[in-house]
């Protein structure tokens, strides 16, 4: 999609939703989201307008919306439609204005479990339930091990104290691409809820043939055919989180094979919240990954300050050992409910 | 181009006033069944003070609460999630939660209410406290059962003192633990808001 077209379509959808928002019933929510992101990279020795990588989706200067609609039959909820969309500005690559679809799924309630179809989080690891939509800190989805969003279907079942989730997705990330049978199967079984019980613990498994994806960009094209190379992958993993008073600890670990070679990754994030209602949050993390010949680690620290309910300031320092790159990134982030 | 982005961002800033995310049940299917064992389903809806009368309603809510709204979660357009509970075609009650300032971050105080506004269930969805076990114990939660807004009407949420039944609720923790008064404020706020959104609609 051409950059101008993508930008105009995104703005048009947003304006239409805003125009019709006053007519919305009490079963819908619409949020406007906007962010400015910028910083400095020692690798380019100059300014950057992204937090992780020029080709990755998050975070970049962007404008978007988040829409949720509940469906019912008059006496009970039957499903949920969730749409999360951004138009992001690319500083150094084309398209300049990129349409980004995050959530675009319908979740239907069935006896004992919920079934979703569309673009959603694969059922593996911490990233299957970690809210990273505004975060500057990188996570496992920014390596080749799993995806932040993938197209397909999945189910969530809450069986008392055990939670089970499974997904069958396209294995290409945010982009819909399937020419050689790429796919990813994932499942997670876990206990706890970070909000409710102050802890989570889970075990995950992943099997599939996936593409190397970074946001909408695919990598590792075959030099002869131009087609993107499929990568067989098999992982098992463990994830968890724990909060005690103002302190929290989160981890995500995967081990197995990627492209027929041993691969593993580990994310450990810790931090603490300060001020009333956790307005100030300080976080630090270590992210290690190894696949094929790539052996890398990132050390990062982040600070978040919520000025108002809708306005937050974030700053990130990230050091990439392999590239010997230091980044300092700042973000102004708005997230505002419309017409409530 | 960056200048255009910034200008667009600023142009939209009037829309970017104050709001906060709602207080949803983490496991609505399981929680509703636990709070209303005879229920056959629930319907989710969203409400706000803005949509329920705006500034006049906010003033009435603050007067009934006996305190001003403030902080990240107490804004005129904060969305509140209401679960209407059904048994067959009949409404048998409601579940509603509020965010409340706590000693360590925020609390999420949920109430199950019958169709007349009496509390049939109380629980914390979110609580981070050294005395979490005492606050979450049935002995504390059960003290709220059967109470309604009328019982909280004279309760001073800053001191916990008053003349109604709510003033008899015993602190399960130490006298210096602020989360007891925070909880009373959360419960009273929850009841006042439900009176606006449902019972006095």
Domains of chain A: 3-337 (2.40.160.10)
Residues in chain A within 8 Å Cβ distance of B125:
195-196
Report which of A306, A299, A305 is spatially closest to residue A270, judged by C-alpha positions.
A299
Contact B78 A195 (CB under 8 A): no
Q: How confident is the model at residue A257 (pLDDT cuts 50, 70, 90)?
A: very high
d(CA B145, CA B143): 6
Nearest to A309 among B18, B45, B46 (CB): B18
Contact A196 B20 (CB under 8 A): no
A111 near B CB under 8 A: no
Residues in chain A within 8 Å Cβ distance of B86:
75-76
In the predicted structure, residue B178 carries a pLDDT above the cut 90? yes
More confident residue, B9 or B70: B70
- pLDDT digits 0-9 by tens, A131-173: 888 999 999 888 778 899 999 999 999 887 899 999 999 999 9
- pLDDT digits 0-9 by tens, A225-235: 888 999 999 99
Q: How confident is the model at residue A4 (pLDDT cuts 50, 70, 90)?
A: low
Interface test with A, best of B18, B19, B103, B125 (most A CBs within 10 A): B19
Contact B130 A245 (CB under 8 A): yes
Q: What number of CA atoms fall less than 13 Å from residue A18's CA on the CB side?
A: 17
d(CA B79, CA B20): 7
ipTM of the complex: 0.89
Residues in chain B within 8 Å Cβ distance of A49:
2
Q: How confident is the model at residue B8 (pLDDT cuts 50, 70, 90)?
A: very low
- Give the mean pLDDT of A311-329: 97
Q: What total of structural domains would you count in chain B?
A: 1
Q: How far is B187 from chain A (nearest CA, A)?
A: 18
Residue B106: both structure tokens together = 């925020």
Contact B42 A76 (CB under 8 A): yes
Q: How far is B163 from chain A (nearest CA, A)?
A: 30
Q: Does residue B157 sit within a domain?
A: yes
Q: Does residue B128 sit within a domain?
A: yes
In the predicted structure, residue B96 carries a pLDDT above the cut 70? yes
Q: Does residue B14 sit within a domain?
A: no
Chain Cα centroid distance, residue A313: 19
In the predicted structure, residue B3 carries a pLDDT above the cut 60? no
**Cβ pairs bridging A and B (under 8 Å):** 133
The answer to whether the predicted template modeling score (pTM) of the entire model surpasses 0.95 is no
Residues in chain B within 8 Å Cβ distance of A94:
none
Residues belonging to chain A: 340
Nearest to B126 among A195, A273, A336 (CB): A195
Q: Does residue B12 sit within a domain?
A: no
Residue A157, sorted as left (phi over 0), alpha (psi -120 to 50) or beta, turns out to be beta
A337 near B CB under 8 A: yes
Interface test with A, best of B78, B104, B130, B198 (most A CBs within 10 A): B104
In the stretch 122-181 of chain A, residues with CB closer than 8 A to chain B read: 158, 160
Q: Which residues contact A90 (CB under 8 A, 6 or more apart)?
A: A3, A54, A60, A96, A97, A98
| Coil, strand or helix at A224 | coil
Q: Does residue B10 sit within a domain?
A: no
In the predicted structure, residue A199 carries a pLDDT above the cut 90? yes
By residue range, what is the domain housing residue B123? 19-199
- pLDDT digits 0-9 by tens, A19-66: 665 556 689 999 999 999 999 999 999 999 999 999 999 999 999 999
């Amino acid at each position: 999609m051409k950059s101008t077209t993508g930008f105009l379509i995104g703005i048009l959808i947003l304006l239409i939703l805003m125009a019709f928002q006053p007519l919305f019933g009490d079963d819908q929510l619409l949020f406007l989201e906007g962010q400015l992101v910028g910083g400095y990279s020692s690798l380019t020795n100059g300014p950057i307008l992204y937090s992780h990588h020029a080709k990755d989706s998050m975070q970049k200067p962007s404008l978007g919306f988040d829409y949720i609609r509940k469906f019912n039959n008059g006496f009970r909820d039957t499903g949920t439609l969730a749409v999360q969309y951004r138009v992001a500005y690319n500083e150094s690559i084309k398209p300049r204005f990129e349409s980004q679809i995050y959530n675009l799924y319908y979740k239907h309630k069935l006896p004992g479990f919920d079934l979703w179809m569309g673009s959603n989080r694969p059922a593996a690891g911490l990233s299957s339930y970690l809210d990273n939509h505004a975060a500057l800190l990188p996570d496992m989805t920014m390596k080749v091990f799993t995806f932040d969003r993938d197209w397909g279907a999945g189910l969530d079942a809450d069986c008392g104290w055990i939670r089970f989730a499974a997904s069958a997705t396209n294995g290409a990330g945010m982009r819909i691409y399937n020419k050689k049978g790429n796919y990813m199967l994932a499942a997670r079984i876990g206990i706890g809820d970070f909000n409710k019980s102050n802890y989570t613990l889970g075990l995950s498994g992943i099997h599939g043939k996936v593409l190397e994806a970074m946001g909408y960009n695919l990598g590792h094209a075959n030099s002869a055919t131009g087609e993107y190379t499929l990568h067989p992958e098999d992982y098992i993993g463990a994830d968890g989180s724990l909060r005690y008073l103002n302190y929290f600890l989160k981890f995500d670990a995967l081990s197995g094979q990627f492209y027929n070679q041993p691969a593993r990754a580990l994310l450990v994030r810790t931090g603490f919240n300060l001020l009333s209602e956790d307005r100030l949050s300080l976080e630090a993390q270590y992210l290690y990954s190894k696949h094929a010949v790539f052996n890398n680690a990132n050390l990062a620290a982040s600070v978040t300050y919520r000025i108002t309910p809708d306005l937050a300031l974030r700053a990130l320092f990230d050091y990439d050992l392999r590239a010997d790159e230091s980044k300092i990134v700042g973000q102004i982030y708005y997230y505002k409910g419309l017409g409530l | 181009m960056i200048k255009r982005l910034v200008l667009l961002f600023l142009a939209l800033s009037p829309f970017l006033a104050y709001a906060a995310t709602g207080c949803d049940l983490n496991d609505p299917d399981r929680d509703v069944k636990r709070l209303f064992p005879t229920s056959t389903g629930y319907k989710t809806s969203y409400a706000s003070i803005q949509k329920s009368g705006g500034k006049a309603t906010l003033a009435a809510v603050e007067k009934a609460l006996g305190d001003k709204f403030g902080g990240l979660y107490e804004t005129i357009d904060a969305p509140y999630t209401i679960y209407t509970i059904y048994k067959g075609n009949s409404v048998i009650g409601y579940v509603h939660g509020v965010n409340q300032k706590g000693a360590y971050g925020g609390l999420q105080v949920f109430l199950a209410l019958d169709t007349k506004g009496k509390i049939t269930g109380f629980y914390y969805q979110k609580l981070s406290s050294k005395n979490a076990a005492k606050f979450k114990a049935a002995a504390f939660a059960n003290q709220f059962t059967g109470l309604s807004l009328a019982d909280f009407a004279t309760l001073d949420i800053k001191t916990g003192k008053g003349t109604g039944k709510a003033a008899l609720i015993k602190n399960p923790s130490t006298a210096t633990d602020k989360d007891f008064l925070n909880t009373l404020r959360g419960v009273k706020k929850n009841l006042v808001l439900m009176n606006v959104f449902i019972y006095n609609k």
